[in-house]
A and B are shown apart, each in its own frame.
Chain A
C-alpha cells in the first residue's frame, strides 16, 4: 500500500507562493472558483477558471505540466464520458463548459490540499467550527475526524489493490465475494485499530482536564 497519498490529494512538500499563502485565502479562492463556474456558466468563465487554476499550480506550486496531467488521471474516465455525453447531447461548447468547470474545481481543490499540510487544514477546520462550540460542537474532534477520513482514503484504496492481488494469486479474481469479504472485514479491523491507536494517544478525549471521578 504505497504512494496512494500522491494521487488522492494529500500534501506534498514544495516551493512556490501557494505554499506561503494562508489556508483561509486558499480555501476561499477554491470555494470562489466553484461558485463562479456554477453561477456564471459560460465558456469564458470556464476558460478563465481553467487558466487561473492551471497557472496557479504551474507557477504557484511549481508543478510540471506532466505532473499536473497525472493529477487529473484518476478523474479522466469520468470526465471523458461526461464530455462525450455532453458533446452528443448539447454540443461541444456545452461539454467544454461542464467538463472544464469540473476540472477547474478539481484543480482548485487540489491546489489547496497539495500546498497545505494536514495540520494547517486541521487548524483551519478548528477555526471554522469554533463558533459552533456553543451548541456542543467540539472543534478538535471534528478536525480529527476530517483528518482521519482524509488518511483513510489512500489506506482503503491500497487495501483494494492488495485484496485484488491476493484473489488473483489464488485464481479467484472472478468471485466478487473473495474481494468484497476481506475488504469489508479489513476496513472494520482498520477502523478498530485506528480507534484504539487514537485512544491510546489520548486523541479525541474530552477537552476538560478533570475525569469522571472519583
Chain B
C-alpha cells in the first residue's frame, strides 16, 4: 500500500510547484499514470521509493515513511527507468543481477547460481554473458526488469518502461508486468497499456486531474489533449 499525504514537490530554489498536494492511497495491484510530457508523472513515481522527497507532506510505503526510512523503502520498492542503459551498470546481464543480490548479503558462491536462476525465470538465460551494449532495446528493458525483480521487491515502479520499445518488445514487457505478483505502478504514453491497469491516474500540470477506472481515465486524457491541441475541442 502506498500513501501520499498532501505530498508536494517544489523546484528549488525558485519554488515552482512541480507537484501540487497529492492525497492518495494506492492499494490496487496495477496502477497506471498517464499525462503529457512534463506533467509530473515521473516526479510522482520518484516519490514512491524515496528517490525524491516531498517538499511538504509525506509518502509512506507499507507504513514506512520515505523521508525517515528511505533504505527500507528502497528494499521494498524496485524502480525501472525508461532508458535501461542508465540502469544496467555491469558488463554482462548475469553480473548485473549478481550486483542486485549483493545488497541482500548473499554469499558469492550462491549469488552466481541465484543470478542464473533469476535470468532463467524471465527467459533471459541467453543474455547472461552478453554485454548490455550489444543487446536490443527490448532485451535491455527485460534485463533491467529482471535485475530489479531479482531481489523480490514488494512493489515495482516503472517509469515509461515501454516508451523506447517496438511493438513486439512492448508486448513482451507488458506481458511480463501482467504476470507479476507485485503491486506495480507505472507511467506510460501507451494508452493500451494504461487500459490494462486496475486504476489509472491522469496528471496534468502537476495536478491529478482524474483518478478512476482506466477506460474513463483514457477518455478524460484524450479529451484533455484534444482540447489543448490547436483547433481542438
Which residues from B are CB-within-8-Å of A158?
Answer: 133
Q: How far is the CB of B109 from chain A (nearest CB, A)?
A: 10
> Is A162 on the interface with B (CB-CB < 8 A)?
no
Cβ of B133 and Cβ of A1 under 8 Å apart? Answer: yes
**C-alpha spacing A198/B71, complex, angstroms:** 12
Contact A2 B74 (CB under 8 A): no
B-facing residues in A179-214 (Cβ within 8 Å): 190, 193-194, 196-203, 205-206, 211-214
Q: Are B65 and A214 in contact (CB under 8 A)?
A: yes
Is A147 interfacial (CB-CB < 8 Å)? yes
Determine which residue in A4, A140, A199, A200 has the highest number of CB atoms from chain B within 10 A of its CB, and name it: A200
* Residues of chain B from 83 to 135 with CB closer than 8 A to chain A in the complex: 83, 86-87, 89-92, 94-95, 98-100, 102-103, 108, 111-112, 129, 131, 133-134
Residue from the list A3, A119, A193 in contact with B131, Cβ < 8 A: A3
Provide the residues of chain B in CB contact with A10, threshold 8 Å: 91, 131
Check if A211 sits within 8 Å of B81, measured CB to CB: no
Q: Which size class do B's interface residues fall under? A: 35 or more
B225 at interface, CB cutoff 8 A: no
CA distance A186 to B98 in the complex (A): 28
Residue of A nearest to B111 (CB): A119
Instruction: Check B49 for interface membership: any CB of A closer than 8 A.
Output: yes
| B89 close to A151 (CB less than 8 A) | yes
Q: A5-B131, A140-B102, A200-B51 are in contact. Are A11 and B92 (CB under 8 A)?
A: yes
Q: How does the 8 Å CB contact mask read for B51-85 relative to A, with 1 for contact and 0 for none?
A: 10000000000000100111110110011010100
Complex contact B103–A118 (CB within 8 A) = no
User: Looking across the interface, which residue of chain B has its beta carbon closest to that of A204?
Assistant: B103
Residue numbers in B under 8 Å from A201 (CB-CB): 74, 78-79, 87, 99-100, 103, 147-148
CA separation between A116 and B208, bound complex, in Å? 50
In the assembled complex, the Cα of A213 lies from the Cα of B73 at a distance in Å of 13
Instruction: Provide the bound-state CA to CA distance between A147 and B74, in Å.
Output: 21
Residues of A within 8 A of B69 (CB): 211, 213-214
Complex CA gap A3/B75 in Å reads 33
Q: Flag if B95 contacts A212 (CB, 8 Å).
A: no
Contact call A147/B90, Cβ cutoff below 8 A: yes
Known contacts A13-B129, A119-B99, A197-B89, A3 near B111 by CB under 8 Å: no
In the complex, the answer to whether A197 meets B95 with C-beta atoms within 8 Å is no
19 sampled A-B residue pairs with Cβ under 8 A: A5-B133, A11-B92, A11-B95, A117-B95, A118-B91, A119-B98, A122-B102, A150-B91, A190-B86, A193-B86, A196-B81, A196-B86, A198-B89, A199-B74, A200-B79, A200-B87, A201-B79, A203-B102, A205-B71
